[in-house]
Amino acid sequence: MSETAEKKKVIFSAIQPSGTITLGNYLGALQNWVKLQDDYNCIYAVADLHAITVRQDPKAFRQNILNAYALFIACGIDTEKSPFFIQSHVHTHAELAWVLNCYTQFGELSRMTQFKDKSQKHADNINAGLFTYPSLMAADILLYQADLVPIGIDQKQHLELTRNIAERFNGIYGNTFRIPEAYIGETGAKIMSLQDPTKKMSKSDENVNSWVAILDKPDTIMKKFKRAVTDSEARVCVGEGKDGINNLIGIMSCVTGKTTDEITAEFEGKGYGDFKTAVGEAVVEKVRPIQERFDRLIADKAYLEEQYRKSAEFALRLSQRTLDKVMKKIGYVAR
Ligand code: TRP
């Protein structure tokens, strides 16, 4: 994480510390983050400031933040290569978010589909933070002059808004922010629900059999795969109307690195029962070393603390440069 080894493009991304990280999160986002570390200057964060737009229980919240932090390191985020910090530890984020709020229009924020969805879901707590959430996300990204932002499709509108805010600010004050671009990972990594394979795998699904958590016990994982919804054709191959099997083949391919053809050849003439068992076993093997590392890390508070402190120091130094520039351009008196 040297500051002089520039030239490589800068990547910034963050994930909220929800209670469970699913196989979908891992194969769709996290595994990608890990791979990007060698080719880019990556900066990653646990977005805990974003998380309080919905009410959190203090004790569970603290544990969720630490668990997410440890799990990401267990998955392969290497703080020597990529600073990985906890958002609330770096005060520039909240500061720039306030500034950007004053350069973001009410109308723009009102058009965010995530805001509309979430305010319907939490009708009893439509707080201002939920509304201005995208300007905090814009601050996260713009502080590090990021070139690329790996995100899921659901965050694309927020990134579009980030670009608009940055362009607007640059237009008024001259070049201040780099305009970031979305980095949408390969489509092959979209993992669907095991119970309704036309829907994305999501831990907010009430049916716990529809998703697999990275930290699920092996027998739970096996049970969930054995119950996975398939079709009546009884042929392991990709096809239309075979969403369940398509998804299982996709998962198998992601965790083993085998191609679709290799997988279909291997299971030619075999039944769905065998195939589901094989996918379950492959997933268990994939998450086993991650779970072992996680167990070691979560018991080693001192090590975790050292990692997030070191990363937060680095992030603060870098982001303070951007914030200082912004404050000066607006006309604030230097400290
Ligand atoms: N809003 C993102 C999500 O819920 C998380 C996030 C916060 C983020 N800040 C970010 C993602 C900056 C990319 C860049 O998924």
Q: Give the model confidence (pLDDT) of 20-39 as tens digits.
A: 899 998 998 899 999 999 99
- The predicted model gives 123-136 an average pLDDT of 96
Q: Rounded to an integer, what is the distance from CA 263 to the centroid of its chain?
A: 28
Does 148 share its domain with 98? yes
Q: Is 137 in the pocket of ligand 1 (CB under 6 A)?
A: yes
Look at residue 60 in the predicted model and tell me its pLDDT. Answer: 96
Q: What is the CATH number of the domain that holds 245?
A: 1.10.240.10
Q: Give the model confidence (pLDDT) of 140-162 as tens digits.
A: 999 999 999 999 888 999 999 99
- Could you identify the atom of ligand 1 that is nearest to the CA of residue 15? 5
Look at residue 188 in the predicted model and tell me its pLDDT. Answer: 46
Whether 156 is catalytic is no
Q: Give the model confidence (pLDDT) of 219-277 as tens digits.
A: 999 999 999 999 999 999 999 999 999 999 999 999 999 999 999 999 999 999 999 99
Does 110 share its domain with 144? yes
Look at residue 157 in the predicted model and tell me its pLDDT. Answer: 97
Does 307 share its domain with 286? no
Confidence of residue 5 (pLDDT cuts 50, 70, 90): low
Does 267 share its domain with 251? yes
pLDDT more than 70, % of the chain? 97
Q: Which of 200, 242, 276, 286 is catalytic?
A: 200
Does 265 share its domain with 165? no
Does 234 share its domain with 324? no
- The predicted model gives 80-86 an average pLDDT of 98
Confidence of residue 186 (pLDDT cuts 50, 70, 90): low
The span from the CA of 197 to the CA of 189, in Å, is 14
Q: 93: closest CA among 150, 141, 130? A: 141
Kindly report the pTM of this predicted structure: 0.92
Look at residue 1 in the predicted model and tell me its pLDDT. Answer: 52
Name, in order, each residue with C-beta under 8 angstroms of 21's C-beta and a sequence gap of 6 or more.
Answer: 30, 68, 71, 213, 214, 215
Confidence of residue 3 (pLDDT cuts 50, 70, 90): low
Does 168 share its domain with 240? no
Q: Is residue 15 part of a domain?
A: yes
Whether the per-residue pLDDT at 166 is higher than 90: the answer is yes
- The predicted model gives 165-171 an average pLDDT of 98
Q: Is residue 201 part of a domain?
A: no
User: For 215-254, b where at least 16 C-beta lie within 10 A, e where not — what string?
Assistant: bbeeebbbebbeebbbeeeebbbeeeebbbbbbbbbbbbb
Q: Is 143 in the pocket of ligand 1 (CB under 6 A)?
A: no
The span from the CA of 94 to the CA of 76, in Å, is 28
Look at residue 6 in the predicted model and tell me its pLDDT. Answer: 56
Look at residue 187 in the predicted model and tell me its pLDDT. Answer: 46
- The predicted model gives 120-149 an average pLDDT of 96
Q: Ligand 1 pocket: which of 42, 137, 147, 202 to mutate (most atoms <8 Å of CB)?
A: 137
Whether 35 is catalytic is no
Residue nearest to atom 9 of ligand 1 (CA): 137
The span from the CA of 43 to the CA of 22, in Å, is 22
Q: Is residue 218 part of a domain?
A: yes
Q: Give the model confidence (pLDDT) of 304-325 as tens digits.
A: 999 999 999 999 999 999 999 9
Ligand 1 centroid–CA 49 distance in Å is 11
Whether the per-residue pLDDT at 131 is higher than 70: the answer is yes
Whether 226 is catalytic is no
Ligand 1 centroid–CA 150 distance in Å is 9
- Could you identify the atom of ligand 1 that is nearest to the CA of residue 133? 1
Residue nearest to atom 6 of ligand 1 (CA): 14
Does 52 share its domain with 71? yes
- The predicted model gives 93-111 an average pLDDT of 98
The span from the CA of 102 to the CA of 97, in Å, is 9
Does 161 share its domain with 224? no
Q: Count of domains in the chain? A: 2
The boundaries of the domain holding residue 72 are 10-189+301-330
